[in-house]
Structure 1
Amino acid sequence: MPRYFFDFWEDGNLIADKEGTDLPDFEAARDEGFLDLMELANDILPRNGAHELKLVVRDEAGRDVIALSLNYREEGL
């Protein structure tokens, strides 16, 4: 089973995945990345201001295979 790595960026600061996760294929890695990004967003947001969250999935060879991002902006009304 291929191993994928999920690197998380918050406002330009990297938290690199050094262990990775074994998953059956790219589609499973994409789905896992989406769920991870939503979980991280739930933990981090909302905070005042704006935030950019990004999760980059790498394969075993270190190649980026997909990037998922979420931009948050809070506006007073």
Structure 2
Amino acid sequence: MPRYFFDIDDGVQDLRDNEGVILDDREHARKEAIATLAQLANDKLPDGNNHTFRANVRDETGKRIYEAALTLTSGWVP
């Protein structure tokens, strides 16, 4: 089974995955990237009204094969 690497940008730091995860296929890697972004948003919601979390998935050759972004926009209603 192939290994996929998940590079994450949480808006504060850019984290490069050097270990990777073995998954069945690209579709599982896509789902893992999206789940990771949702978990990050839940765990690390910043102060302020706008924030974007990003994930890039690389294959075993280092080629970027998928990218996802989750943007939170919020504000008080007058």
Q: Same fold (TM over 0.5)?
A: yes
**Stretches of 4+ moved more than 6 A in 1?**
none
Q: What is the alpha-carbon distance in structure 2 between the residues aligned to residue 32 and residue 4 of structure 1?
A: 10
Identity percentage of aligned residues: 39
Q: Which residue pairs with 1:56 in the alignment?
A: 56
Are 2:78 and 1:74 equivalent residues in the alignment?
Answer: no
Q: TM-score, normalised by structure 1?
A: 0.89
Residue 17 of structure 1 deviates from its aligned partner by 0.8
Q: State the Cα RMSD in Å.
A: 1.4
* Structure 1 unaligned residues grouped into runs of 5+: none
Q: Which residue pairs with 1:47 in the alignment?
A: 47
* Structure 2 unaligned residues grouped into runs of 5+: none
Q: Which residue pairs with 2:4 in the alignment?
A: 4
Q: Deviations over 1:25-70 (max 9, x none)?
A: 1011111111111111110125323211001111011111111101
Q: Which residue pairs with 2:19 in the alignment?
A: 19
Aligned length: 77
